[in-house]
Amino acid sequence: MRFPLSLWDLCLWLAAMAIILLITSELLSSSSEYLGNIVIEKGRLRAAALALGTGFMVTVALRAWQFI
Protein backbone atom coordinates (compact mmCIF):
# COMPACT_ATOMS: atom_id res chain seq x y z
CA MET A 1 0.00 0.00 0.00
CA ARG A 2 1.49 3.28 -1.07
CA PHE A 3 0.14 6.68 -2.06
CA PRO A 4 -0.44 6.47 -5.82
CA LEU A 5 0.56 10.05 -6.67
CA SER A 6 4.12 11.05 -7.45
CA LEU A 7 5.65 14.45 -6.77
CA TRP A 8 5.04 15.40 -10.39
CA ASP A 9 1.33 14.56 -10.06
CA LEU A 10 1.08 16.64 -6.90
CA CYS A 11 2.89 19.47 -8.63
CA LEU A 12 0.33 19.40 -11.42
CA TRP A 13 -2.58 19.26 -9.00
CA LEU A 14 -1.17 22.13 -6.94
CA ALA A 15 -0.68 24.20 -10.07
CA ALA A 16 -4.28 23.70 -11.20
CA MET A 17 -5.73 24.47 -7.77
CA ALA A 18 -3.45 27.45 -7.21
CA ILE A 19 -4.46 28.99 -10.54
CA ILE A 20 -8.18 28.53 -9.80
CA LEU A 21 -7.90 30.00 -6.33
CA LEU A 22 -5.59 32.85 -7.27
CA ILE A 23 -7.89 33.95 -10.08
CA THR A 24 -10.95 33.68 -7.82
CA SER A 25 -9.23 35.58 -5.06
CA GLU A 26 -8.10 38.29 -7.44
CA LEU A 27 -11.59 38.68 -8.91
CA LEU A 28 -13.18 38.87 -5.48
CA SER A 29 -10.72 41.35 -4.04
CA SER A 30 -11.37 43.80 -6.86
CA SER A 31 -14.69 44.76 -5.15
CA SER A 32 -16.53 45.00 -8.41
CA GLU A 33 -20.27 45.63 -8.66
CA TYR A 34 -21.29 41.97 -8.51
CA LEU A 35 -18.34 39.95 -7.27
CA GLY A 36 -17.63 42.36 -4.43
CA ASN A 37 -20.88 41.36 -2.74
CA ILE A 38 -19.85 37.74 -2.17
CA VAL A 39 -19.70 37.37 1.58
CA ILE A 40 -16.82 35.06 2.38
CA GLU A 41 -13.54 35.54 4.19
CA LYS A 42 -11.66 36.98 1.23
CA GLY A 43 -8.46 37.31 3.21
CA ARG A 44 -8.48 33.63 4.07
CA LEU A 45 -9.19 32.69 0.47
CA ARG A 46 -6.22 34.76 -0.62
CA ALA A 47 -4.07 33.10 2.04
CA ALA A 48 -5.14 29.64 0.83
CA ALA A 49 -4.43 30.60 -2.79
CA LEU A 50 -1.02 31.93 -1.89
CA ALA A 51 -0.26 28.84 0.17
CA LEU A 52 -1.10 26.59 -2.76
CA GLY A 53 0.92 28.78 -5.11
CA THR A 54 3.87 28.56 -2.75
CA GLY A 55 3.38 24.79 -2.49
CA PHE A 56 3.52 24.57 -6.25
CA MET A 57 6.69 26.65 -6.36
CA VAL A 58 8.27 24.37 -3.76
CA THR A 59 7.51 21.30 -5.87
CA VAL A 60 8.97 23.07 -8.91
CA ALA A 61 12.08 23.90 -6.91
CA LEU A 62 12.36 20.26 -5.84
CA ARG A 63 12.09 19.13 -9.47
CA ALA A 64 14.75 21.64 -10.45
CA TRP A 65 16.95 20.41 -7.60
CA GLN A 66 16.56 16.84 -8.86
CA PHE A 67 17.72 17.90 -12.32
CA ILE A 68 20.74 19.72 -10.96
Partner 1 sequence: MNELYAEEGVSDVKTLKDTSEYLRTESMTPNRLQKSRRDEGTSMVLTTTQYLVETINQLQTELDFAKRELEKKRGITSNKVAVFFLIPGTASLILSVILNQQVLSFIGLGLTFWGALFLFVKPVKYVKGSLLDSTAIASYSTLDRMLTDLDYKGRGYYIPPYPKEAFLPQYLRGLKDMVVFLSADGGPEMPSIDEIAKKRFILENPKGICVSPPGMGLLSQFEREIGRTIDGIELSELCQTLPQVVLMNLQLAKELEIKPESKGVRLTVVNSVYKKLYWKEQELQSVLLLGCPLVSAVACALAKSTGKILTISESNVSAKGEKISVFYLFVED
Question: CA 60, CA 46: separation in Å to the nearest integer?
Answer: 21
Number of residues that bind partner 1 (CB under 8 A): 17
- Closer residue to partner 1, CB minimum distance, 5 or 61: 5
Question: What's the 3-state SS for 7-39?
Answer: HHHHHHHHHHHHHHHHHHHHHHHCCCCCHHHCC
- Closer residue to partner 1, CB minimum distance, 1 or 64: 1
Phi, psi of 59 (to 5 degrees): -65, -35
- Return the DSSP state at 4: S
- Closer residue to partner 1, CB minimum distance, 31 or 66: 31
34 binds partner 1 (CB under 8 A): no
- Residue numbers at the binding site for partner 1 (CB under 8 A): 1-5, 9, 13, 17, 21, 31, 36, 39-41, 44-45, 48
